[in-house]
A and B are shown apart, each in its own frame.
Chain A
């Protein structure tokens, strides 16, 4: 019996064809528009044996605050139909732990690193931004103002227009690095929030973070997560995210990184047609680590088939009848 063997690395051939896949997020240039979403890719090194990280548009690391974070009690995740609810609680090593343990590996990569940062006060966000500004070689900072699983910080900032503007402005003052604001989906209308982030100096928006959610065991009548509620991700949230990208794209001029349930190139292209300049693969990394590379190859194939020379031509090409 023959077994189909694939090599462990670079399964997906990414040829250098005539199409231009590069995109710009503020002053950060990406070789292609496909990144991985914060919290689904650790600090990159964990996946280094399974795929060539340098093929990615960017590596986005898990959220980091000033000090180490233990995270929430378990169970922390629960699988639901076409998705996953998580309440990890931003477990992490803090700025110093990250720099010591993970930065030597990341800074040696050809692909840029985007560092997702958070805090419990405006001052902490700014302080973390300052620390990473001083590090050098960081591609961009992504401001996590939208994590639903921590009591202080996170979504508290992303769902209040005034606080959001304050956090972004404080980080803008603290660093010259490109700033990406990761938006909460849990608002009545995303347009004013997108505009507030843009006006306060954000160079790009990540849309969206996980959607607040809950699952209950009907036998024990207990919530399935120790944190009771969590954030929903995976294919089931994609239509929500596509709509938010479309709405935000109409409201701002800065580029948008679309994310939420991307499993293949068609999903990614849909986000771009809605208005995203770049995309991020999230939960799919957990079950198919090759997804981001498959998406890059698939976008190239789509462009060749459609005779498109520049990937930027896809962005915002949705045809909505008035």
Chain B
């Protein structure tokens, strides 16, 4: 992990409230593993003192990029920044995904909304191709579909309002795919990133069919480096459960370790 003051290379709108931010960070970029995140200090705003965590979307040479949605004050200000302006970044942080090996399990990627950002680098680094299930409320929530296809992955898009792909939740085709190819069950592995509700549903499917699953948990964070204990989730231990840190032990956890009944 490094703390660097980095320059914005570009910060362009993707679909309506989604932006792609490219940062030049020569020390950080080569170290990044899929599923890791960057902790970004946007500006010393009195209303938003804390850094914001973002999944790392792509890595290219000495740059990395993030795909973010404007949801509050911090990201609102970030969306108005442009090339040449500076940000303070601490990265790469957290424990990411296990990259699938060639000839190993067939990866099933499940992404909701900006969860796709964390999945793309995994798809790109994985020598074993599989299926990407992408879902969102509406058409504009389906991100980087073309890029997944360009990597040679089978993409299944779902929207809740049916404005793009099939109508419904992203977990429906995931369950169907596993159910319909029972002989291959042992060869699947699920990787997911998205809202907690979606992750819980994915965790249930993984348990129902005994398919291994790695979930990237989305929790509020303050420090990002393991000291403040804000981002904790309940994780099984030998004699019960304990709170572990999404920023340090996670954000990627084995689905079987999460104690859903103790989640907020």
* A interface with B by C-beta (< 8 Å): 1-6, 8, 11, 39-42, 46-47, 49-50, 62, 70-71, 73-77, 79, 81-84, 86, 88, 91, 226, 234-235, 283, 285-290
Contacts and interface: CB of A to CB of B under 8 A. Distances in A.
Interface of B: 1-7, 9, 24-27, 41, 46-51, 83-84, 86, 88, 90, 219-220, 222-223, 225-230, 232-233, 242-243, 248, 264
Main secondary structure of the interface of B (DSSP, over half): loop
A286 B49 CA distance: 9
Per CB-CB distance, the 9 closest pairs between chain A and chain B, nearest first, are A42-B227, A3-B24, A286-B223, A8-B2, A77-B230, A3-B7, A46-B226, A286-B222, A82-B46
Contact of B1 (A2, A11, A41, A50): A50
Nearest to B1: A49
Given A3-B24, A8-B27, A70-B243, A287 B227 contact: no
Given A40-B223, A42-B225, 9 more contacts: A8-B1, A47-B227, A49-B1, A50-B2, A81-B47, A91-B232, A91-B243, A286-B51, A286-B222
A290 B3 contact: yes
B3 A47 contact: no
A6 B222 contact: no
B230 A41 contact: no
Which of A50, A235, A289 has most B Cβ within 10 Å?
A289
Given A82-B49, A286-B222, A289-B90, A76 B229 contact: yes
A284 B9 CA distance: 28
Given A40-B227, A84-B222, A79 B49 contact: yes
A226 B4 CA distance: 34
A40 B2 contact: no
B3 A289 contact: yes
Given A41-B227, A285-B223, A84 B3 contact: no
B264 A75 contact: yes
A76 B231 CA distance: 8
Contacts of B47: 81-82
Given A288-B41, A289-B3, A50 B225 contact: yes
Contacts, number: 118
Given A79-B49, A81-B47, A287-B49, A8 B3 contact: yes
Contacts of A46: 225-227, 248
B49 A235 contact: yes
Contacts of A84: 49-50, 222
12 contacts: A4-B7, A8-B2, A42-B227, A74-B233, A76-B230, A77-B220, A81-B46, A83-B49, A88-B230, A91-B243, A286-B228, A287-B222
Contacts of B3: 6, 8, 11, 50, 289-290
Contacts of A41: 227
B1 A6 contact: no
Contacts of B228: 39-40, 77, 86, 88, 286
A227 to B, nearest CB: 12
A266 to B, nearest CB: 14
Contacts of A73: 264
B46 to A, nearest CB: 5
Contact of A75 (B48, B220, B243): B220
Given A76-B232, A81-B47, A1 B24 contact: yes
Contacts of B229: 71, 76, 88, 91
A296 B229 CA distance: 27
A79 B50 contact: yes
Which of B50, B83, B86 has most A Cβ within 10 Å?
B50
Contacts of B86: 4
Contacts of B219: 74
Contact of A6 (B4, B84, B230): B4
B41 A287 contact: yes
Nearest to A11: B3
Nearest to B83: A1
B72 to A, nearest CB: 9
B264 A3 contact: no
Contacts of B225: 42, 46-47, 50, 289
A50 B223 CA distance: 13
Contacts of A88: 228-230
A92 B82 CA distance: 42
Contacts of A82: 46-47, 49
B222 to A, nearest CB: 5
A226 B264 contact: yes
Given A8-B3, A288-B41, A70 B242 contact: yes
